[in-house]
Chain A
Amino acid sequence: MLKCRTVWKKLAPLARDSSTLCRQDVRRAGLNNGSAVRVPAAHMSSGSAGGGGENKLYVLLVGAACLGGGIYAYRTVKGDQQRYMERMAEISSRPHKAASQKTAVPAQSEPPAAAATETGTVPEPKPGAAPSPEEPSPAAPGAEAAAPSETTEPPPAVDSTPASTKVPSHAPYLLIGGGTASFAAARSIRARDPGARVLIITNEPDLPYMRPPLSKELWFSDDPSVTETLRFKQWNGKERSIYFQPQSFYIQPEELNSAENGGVAVLTGKKVIHMDVRGNKVKLDDDTEILYDKCLIATGGVPRNLQAIERAGEKVTKRTTLFRKIEDFKSLDKVSRNAKSITIIGGGFLGSELACALGRRSADFDLEVIQMFPEKGNMGKVLPEYLSNWTTEKVKKEGVKIISEALVKSVTYKDDKLEIQLKDGRLVKTDHIVAAVGLEPNVDLAKSAGLEVDSDFGGFRVNAELQARSNIWVAGDAACFYDIRLGRRRVEHHDHAVVSGRLAGENMTGASKPYWHQSMFWSDLGPDVGYEAIGIVDSSLPTVGVFAKATAKDTPKAATEKSGTGIRSESETEDTAVSPVASSTPAPAVEQQRDNYGKGVIFYLRDKVVVGIILWNVFNRMPIARKIIKDGEEHADLNEVAKLFNIHED
């Protein structure tokens, strides 16, 4: 392109000069009518010969030059067009070649063939340039400039052959990361773009799966082979796998470009280590390069660890689990059957859920379960203090020994036990540690891709439409996005991964929708305490809680039984009524002490506007909560708002 411009710059003055010269000569000839007087032409670089005869010769030479140039230009354009058509035909025939012969040989022979056609066509313009002797040099660069622009697609075919024939060299939709957000995006893309070809790249060995059961339902399974099958029974009795779809749903990566109706292919065990945004391509850890048209980064995060554990040495880290993946679940399950004592560090969602799950097992396996955290009570950063304390009591009832206000100073390995030294002097001895102290969003690609990372929340900074840059979107745990209603935030919940993944998929297929449908989250702490929440639920905000007295019917178990669905976000979003299953024990409302927070609604306020709501043991009301957050209104009396939830009914 630049060469064209320089060529034009060279040609332009020449053309201009010659044309003005022509005009001047003609005018002069007309005016002077053969007079020998020559008007001095100050701006003429190419001096005109004196006299009409020489003028005529000059005109002839210039005319010939123009004609030759015109012929050459015409032939070049035609040649380029022909080369382009040849190239397109070749590219479209290549997938057929690749599909029919699954060895490395055709891939090797193709690039030389491609190179041959390239070099074959380049000499073509050169003979064409011969008639116009003045312009051979600017022409050749012009032809070469045309050639590289056509070959941006094929080069990866040359590079990728040594690595593996299984990896396609080009994926129209490339999703980095194989978790919930990625799967939701894949589904959304396929629904909206018929025949879409989607490639998911994940560094885990597993197909996309859902995480919530790893710390909840899978632990309550009666099946001894649950660590292999990874199937869990939902409370409505229906069983399902944690995998979103079985293997047969996906197509093989090598079939991606040839499949008639497209499909979703998953490349497992590969990590994307480099992203070239200008070239629209990524590089894997085995040096394979893949071109993309649209890319989603859904890399999620990596569990954080305590510094005290990291510097404690291998004997300690070997006995520590950072819980996130299927393999962590498997190994912790094994540990829980053999160890005598497990300590969970962290009092948030994951830590509390695991504590309750392991606490249930403690009776069967003679296992001591300890949970320690810096806050005063479980979920101390989420629930207001009174509720956090109440919840802690419930967790204790599940068989967990709680050590609150505990800050870990150091961890050592002594006498075949781990010794956790707390800052206030207490010492805890245990066999195994589970660290549930937060998630570090995975922004490894930010550097190579030149993407912005948010300093407040971590993660890739994206706009309200989840876009980081043209053709690059980010969804799930790793996305720090702009929520039109609630401001910039980063959310680490399952439903958010689904909602943002789906939205990213929509925007990748041409929509421009902002994050608008508020995602929800839920947690169960044993069979008696369950809550669902939406929006910003931060215990540092002022709250207003409206409670009623709970009956036996107000438990998570009863809620899902009634609605006939298995997992909370499913039941929460059904609008049509289902005939309720009669609960087995229709117990009358038990008169309990006044401070029993059996069920209710808690509003979280920011500048008098409700920004978050927790539905405490109250289910199937999420749409109302979502509406209140969406409105973003100041309500004078929140008790009136609480009436909308009908907390006394089932």
Chain B
Amino acid sequence: MNFSELFKLSGLLGCFSPDGKCLASCLQHRLVVRDASSLQILQLYTCLDQIQYIEWSSDSLFILCAMYKRGIVQVWSLEQPEWHCKIDEGLAGLVASCWSPDGRHILNTTEFHLRITVWSLCTKSVSYIKYPKACQQGVTFTKDGRYMAVAERRDCKDFISIFVCNNWQLLRHFDTETQDLVGIEWAPNGCVLAAWDTCLEYKVLLYSLDGRLLSSYRAYEWLLGVKSIAWSPSSQFLAIGSFDEKVRILNHVTWKKITELNHPATISNKKTIVYKEVEKSPTVDRERLSFPPTRALASSLFSTQSKYEISQVPVSLQYIKPVADRANPKVGVGMLAFSADNCFLATKNDNIPNAVWIWDVRKLKLSVVLEQLCTIQYFQWDPCQPRLAVCTGSSRVYLWSPAGCIVVQVPGEGDFQIMSLSWHPSGDSMLLLGKDHFCVCYLEREEV
């Protein structure tokens, strides 16, 4: 494993291009585009204000930079550096901005969710989508980029509109039986749309592409409901993580629950492997001690090394009872992700914030638990292999694969705290994002 040096970053804004050739990162109001393998700067663009959001277009030719405070979106071209495009929402304000799947339209959500404007880079036409819903995930595109579903709210009722991305024509418009729709997501096969209700009400609705209600699932009443949802890559399973610390998996044939996955604080099953991160006391070379201590030496002394140990089952994990009188409590399953080959499901129970639970989807059983020293910030599966990268806000990156797991310390100064990470589309390298810096980690083929 090789690590690049640390580069400056702001706002956790860094991502690989979809074709994997370039890496874009932001520093205040500058957008830096580098080559993905050599990290040489290819282009440098300056925007009008501090950038709050960047996104690559699907063909990796354009990057949009959104500045919410000024309400401006600037689009840059990689092929023609002198080409520029600026979209000013003016008084309408800007809350969110994203590309359409064809890479030629930009969807801007104005302030107060007044409307979604569809700006076209090819023609002079502009489209408006009225009454969009102000929710967590109100706009979702199918994987093949053909259809877009938008959550709307009119007259205190929720609706879903399905548009054809080709010509932005409305295909279907139907109402949903939800109290307060919070999110919608297409299945990877593009034929089923999952919609889920606010956390005050546990309800998951499944609609077919043509707007028919296929099924409605409700696990229980009164308790706080759905926290997170994930489709399996084959569209066979829908995993629903809820506030009662359980994940329920529905199957695509009957849309009924096939299993419940529990996240108890004590693991007693002998077949589960529990990897526990333990601190290693750093070894110091007697001869190399000098006074005053050099910076590198000081950082290496104070930075703690750690490694994984296999704990003997039964293991009890650190369980946190949240404060009862706050909204959006840190309870329940907050992160869900299927691996790319559909064999594993990684979950995080916010009551046990230091652990990642890895479930074997074929057996529907808990196979591995990773217990870390700090709270899990983010994890992401490798897009090609069943490999999971985890970061906890320390300067170490953790990798798990069915062959085992390793801890890697990012070399350099000790105050690089990894808050997020992002895999390269080919699975060969990983972008580690910290508060002020980022670095790229290159993995060799045989690693893990």
A interacts with B: no
Interface residues of A (CB under 8 A from B): none
Interface, chain B (partner A; CB < 8 A): none
